[in-house]
Amino acid sequence: MGRDYYSAAGNEILNNGHTIQVNFRPGSTMSLNGHTYELKQFHFHAPSENQIKGESFPLEVHLVHADKEGNLAVVGIMFKEGAENKALTKAWNQMPEQKNAKQALSQVINAEDMLPSDKAYYRFNGSLTTPPCSEGVTWLVMKEPVTVSKEQVEQFTKVMGTHTNRPVQPLNARPVLQ
């Protein structure tokens, strides 16, 4: 997975009533098997929607990418409780508390800063985790979690008012590639 994430790409944060989302200007891309996907947005779920070796995490971020034909690739990153996450702090400082509220970001948010130092990932084909839950999404779930403070998770869950995750789905016949 090659990436070319521009540091000034995150330009807007919004509360859509289901999650907190950071939208990106065009230009940040990821390549996978010679195919280019553009980063559109990232958003959060608490607790995590994916598990690693049966373990759930207090928070997960999804970096949503689309190619020119509309095919989606999502990078999932798990957060484990620990030190404050500096990349999240930038977003959380401007987190809209009201549903359907949005604002321009005053600080640069770089998607690269969300990624763990070890870039190994699991890959599988799945679906969107929010309606319409369309199939055909390429998922890349990072094997190594990053840290988030208990206070940062609490801030997110307080603003959202409830859990924001889709329950873990059965694997069915989907192979998970390592």
Quick check: is 178 in a domain? no
Q: How far apart are CA 19 and CA 6, in angstroms?
A: 23
Catalytic site includes residue 18: yes
Residue 88, class by beta-carbon neighbours within 10 Å (0-12 exposed, 13-18 middle, 19+ buried)? buried
Q: How far apart are CA 101 and CA 94, in angstroms?
A: 11
For residue 141, the enclosing domain spans: 2-160
Retrieve residue 32's tokens. 């996978």
Quick check: is 170 in a domain? no
Quick check: is 169 in a domain? no
Look at the chain and report how many structural domains it folds into.
1
pLDDT digits (tens, 9 = 90+) for 31-83: 998 889 999 999 999 999 999 998 999 999 999 999 999 999 999 999 999 99
Quick check: is 165 in a domain? no
Q: What is the pLDDT of residue 102?
A: 96
Give the burial string for 65-85 (b: 16+ CB within 10 Å, else e): bebeeeebbbbbbbbeeeeeb
pLDDT digits (tens, 9 = 90+) for 107-148: 878 888 889 999 999 999 877 777 666 778 999 999 999 999
Task: Check 18, 45, 62, 65 and give the catalytic one.
Answer: 18
112: domain CATH number is 3.10.200.10
Q: Please give the span between the terminal C-alpha atoms of the chain, in angstroms, as a whole number.
A: 13
Mean pLDDT within 22-31:
91
Quick check: is 36 in a domain? yes
Quick check: is 150 in a domain? yes
